[in-house]
Amino acid sequence: MSRSERSSDTDVDDTGGQAVPGDHADDRPATPPPAHTGSMATRRLGVAALVGLTATLLFGLVITGPEETQRDAARLLYIHLPTIAVTYLAFFLTLVGSVIYLRRGSAFWDLVAGASGEIGVLFCGFVLASGALWGKPTWGVYWQWDPRLTSTAVLFVMYIGYLAVRRLELPPDVRSRRAAILGIVSFLNVFIVHYSVQWWRGLHQGQTIGLDTKIEGMMLFTLFLALASFLVLYAWLLIHRFRVAWLAREHDDLGLARALAERRAESGRRVSPRVS
């Protein structure tokens, strides 16, 4: 892990001419990083996400007409489907980060895996919530034991477990390695759970909870708009969350270094010299 990488920071956080609220950076050419996790990249992504999500709200709730059989309940699909996409993307990135971390020991990828995992859990919760709220008007019940919903619920709990392992009180590299193994195996588990539940429910009179809705025209547009917006949102959240994780790590390292320095200073003050 190279400390030299941190010597100058010009590309990432250049705030240019944009007024950034709360930015404490100087205006010298080699601008040191500001006291927050924002940057040019996140400004752009953030604006894009905001615009996209507002548009999604508009189109989803107002402009696009209600779908025929499900009336307005289908509007929830503009939330439900994109959040599913984000969830799987997020957990996939956790998988990738975990694999790379195990092979290269790169702190960057470990933190990416963790940040993405947290966002994945959040959005998985959204999937379950929006799914249940869509289900009630559509099928009459909040919960169905169909493969997708059941495996999503198991997925949710599994990755909460992943987040818990990331917080275990262990030496950082041991903890990261465990989390990485878990991040990889959990993703594989999803398939196992999905297929066994699918098989299980397949035995019962074809309870195909498919999307019987025809999605076309305006609805399709709104759906893509929503999907794009949520993906951009995911990127924005990921960058910020990663930076927070990075800061936390630096903070911990500093704390550790300080503690070690104090201990050495202490032993230096003692009468009998110690061999360190």
Partner 1 sequence: MYWEFVIAGYAIVFGGVALYAANVLRQGRALSKKVPPERRRFLD
Partner 2 sequence: MLRDTWLMAVKDLRIELGSRVVTAQILPFGLLVLILFGLAISPDLLVTGDARRSVLEEIAPGLFWLAVLLSALMALARAFALEADDGNLDALRMAGIDPAGVFLGKALAVAVQLVAIEAVLGFGAVVVFGVPLSDPLLLAVTLVLATFSITLAGTLYAALASGLRSRDTLVPLLVLPVLAPVLLGATLATRDALFADPAVPGWSWAMLLAVFSLLYLGVGMLAFGPLLEET
User: Considering only residues 52, 88, 147, 240, which one is a binding residue for partner 1 as defined by CB under 8 A?
Assistant: 240
x/- mask, partner 1, residues 82-101, rule CB under 8 A, reads -x------------------
* Nearest one of 189, 195, 60 to 134, comparing CA atoms: 60
Binding segment toward partner 1, per CB under 8 A, in 180-188, 191-199, 215-223, 235-243: 235-243
Residues contacting residue 1 through CB under 8 Å, at least 6 positions apart: 107
| Nearer Cβ to partner 1 (70/189) | 70
50 token code pair: 């905001």
Q: Does 219 bind partner 1 (CB under 8 A)?
A: no
Rounded distance, CA 15 to CA 40, Å?
Answer: 6
Q: Measured in Å, how far apart are the chain's first and last C-alpha atoms?
A: 24
Q: Is 107 exposed, middle or buried (0-12, 13-18, 19+ CB in 10 A)?
A: middle
The residues binding partner 2 (CB under 8 A) are 102, 154-155, 157-158, 160-161, 164-165, 168-171, 173-174, 177-178, 180-182, 185, 188-189, 192-193, 196-197, 199-200, 203
Q: DSSP letter at 27? A: -
129 binds, among partner 2, partner 1, none (CB under 5 to 8 A by kind): partner 1
Q: DSSP letter at 76? A: G
Closest approach of Cβ 196 to partner 2, in Å?
A: 4
Q: Does 241 bind partner 1 (CB under 8 A)?
A: yes
Indicate the residue type of 51: V
**Do you know the residue count of the chain?**
276
58 binds, among partner 1, partner 2, none (CB under 5 to 8 A by kind): none
What 3-state class would DSSP assign to 45?
helix
Binding segment toward partner 1, per CB under 8 A, in 88-96, 123-131, 165-173, 212-220: 123-131
Residues contacting residue 101 through CB under 8 Å, at least 6 positions apart: 109, 110, 113, 176, 177, 180
Alpha helices in 107-205 (DSSP H): 107-139, 147-166, 172-202
Binding segment toward partner 1, per CB under 8 A, in 74-82, 150-158, 172-180, 205-213: 74-82
Q: Does 22 bind partner 1 (CB under 8 A)?
A: yes
157 token code pair: 């709990």
Chain residues that interact with partner 1, rule: CB under 8 A: 5-9, 11-13, 22, 32-38, 53, 57, 60-61, 66, 70-73, 75-76, 79-80, 83, 108, 122, 125-126, 129-130, 133-134, 136-137, 233, 237, 240-244, 246-248, 250-251, 254
